[in-house]
Structure 1
């Protein structure tokens, strides 16, 4: 069984291209980074076949499936599969359990002149291999945590270390009330898949430790897997200590300037500004209860003034009028309290570059 799991994991380590033959609804619920959705059946076709299977049995369901995917429909899907196989001779195909859908597609490809492999056990076996990784790796590889107040560029730190895994990147969320991006956040399944694969790749590269950004139990709408979270709670911590003005400029760029650019790029100038305004106001509204009504009202008024000014072309500096007190009165005290719970685990403090140099030296050693 372990040998089979290792074969599945090699597909992820090697970024092996794969065709996911499941219906679009299945793919959207959870998939793998190196897989492309080229379904055998549409959602509607799959539902009809499933209903037929329940009411009339397997033989009738198979017959209906062939009736639904035939003629021009079959030819169009075959063309997509054949193009993929020709462009990715090292790839694989899979369905949910490696059963009828992948075997049928494999046979059609063979009849068309291409002998293409399928993943035995399908999506379910691949997914289970990644879940096993998330359960086992925290027990076998030491962790190291990068901490620091909001705006300390912790995510930048993990993305510049070869043995670090970017959990916020895997979640597609920055972890704060202003943490979402223009595009939707990753699903729980996709977050787990990406995280497990990135951990595997670091282990396969020979690293002996993994570095993570200090995170809470949740990143946006996704939960950290329990073994991973528990491992992080026991790990040594390096704390970035950058001055307030440096952190403020980073947050101005990240929360405001970059988000304005992204919203207008995706939605156009007018609608982009409207949606970005909604994003900023909603981020503040999410923490209204923690801020207290009066403080929330004051910060909201400053935010609305700053939004109006940047929409009129007066620049972004006015946003510091709400960002500075938000850091000083809310985020900084909150993080100082959280960090006080980790005092016994803190082994290094310094500015961003000092912490980067330290982590590069003490955690990036590889197996020989």
Structure 2
């Protein structure tokens, strides 16, 4: 049986990686470009895992029974793969699940490899690499009040890292609205992939964040590098900021969730302000809701954080194209 290390696997560009773990395991974290072809579904994995504690032999037999029932369907899935590419296969620790599939795929005539140590070895490698990571580029870090369009700027500034996009959280009380926040492990996998993609760059744009983005933490090595970066303040009018907030939070049909969060903020606002906000929500006056939340809650918090950043430059994002040009000049980039 051919084997391949995690490090060698991550250097490959176009080859195929297959994760044989259950969908729930895959959802929590995986090699970012892996395909999930599970031997056991979530319920089957739970049953086999519980049985294994009391009777390992019986659990293994049950696992094979599940596998044999799915074998025809899985075989058809594997036949669709590109035979000109390497097929790297892994499970939790490079054990029975992945070994079974490596044999099957090899018998079908593919160039199949077992990932040494499985997902567990991959996770250890990513964690170790992030702990000692030293970026070969300088960060240009964008700071600004909520709604100032920093994420929209990052979409147009290349190269960049969108930490909130990787975390699937906008880093505020309302930050999960319209999104599906990711777990720490998957966030780190995606961040590590992006950092590797950026090797060779001189300057990378990123949004200034606290150490925590939603439920996840930015690795210390990356966070420290951001703190050493060139800090730029992004200003924007209250009108345009409110429009951005409406776009980000009020277009997902989650008004009830927004109401809950507004009530949760009562200790930080007055009873009258909360009542006014709920009335405006009834009237679907989302622009006014946004303005009040910005002016009476978020702005003071953000101003304190921005003040600590020591911004060397200030730009205006009321015209995003002009702002992009200005930021490129600040970063020393030539316009293409």
TM-score, normalized by length of structure 1?
0.79
Task: Map 1:108-257; keep pairs closer than 5 Å.
Answer: 108-138=104-134, 140-203=136-199, 206-256=200-250
1:67 matched to which residue of 2? 65
> C-alpha distance in 2, partners of 1:286/1:336?
22
Does structure 1 residue 79 correspond to structure 2 residue 76?
yes
Contact 2:83/2:111, CA 8 A, preserved across alignment? no
Q: Runs in 1 of length 4+ with deviation above 6 angstroms?
A: none
> C-alpha distance in 1, partners of 2:91/2:51?
19
> C-alpha distance in 1, partners of 2:109/2:73?
17
Question: Any unmatched runs of 5+ in structure 2?
Answer: none
Distance 1:365 1:190, change over 3 A: same
Deviation of 1:296 after TM superposition, in Å, equals 2.0
Deviation of 1:56 after TM superposition, in Å, equals 4.6
Q: Tell me the secondary structure at the aligned position of residue 293 of structure 2.
A: helix
Distance 1:358 1:8, change over 3 A: farther
Q: Which has the higher strand share?
A: 2
> C-alpha distance in 2, partners of 1:296/1:52?
52
Distance 1:255 1:88, change over 3 A: farther
TM-score, normalized by length of structure 2?
0.86
2:302 matched to which residue of 1? 335
Contact 1:163/1:364, CA 8 A, preserved across alignment? no
Distance 1:335 1:67, change over 3 A: closer
Question: Any unmatched runs of 5+ in structure 1?
Answer: 264-275, 308-317
**Count of aligned residue pairs for this structure pair:** 328
Contact 1:208/1:365, CA 8 A, preserved across alignment? no
- Per-residue CA deviation, residues 301-343 of structure 1 (Å, 9 max, x unaligned), is 22222x2xxxxxxxxxx32222222222222222111112222
- Per-residue CA deviation, residues 165-192 of structure 1 (Å, 9 max, x unaligned), is 1011111111122222434222222111
Q: Tell me the secondary structure at the aligned position of residue 152 of structure 2.
A: helix
Q: Which has the higher helix share?
A: 1
Task: Map 1:336-351; keep pairs closer than 5 Å.
Answer: 336-343=303-310, 346-351=311-316
Distance 1:160 1:77, change over 3 A: same
Contact 2:178/2:249, CA 8 A, preserved across alignment? no
Distance 1:134 1:209, change over 3 A: farther
RMSD: 2.8
Deviation of 1:45 after TM superposition, in Å, equals 3.7
Q: In terms of mean alpha carbon deviation, does 207-216 or 194-203 score higher?
A: 207-216
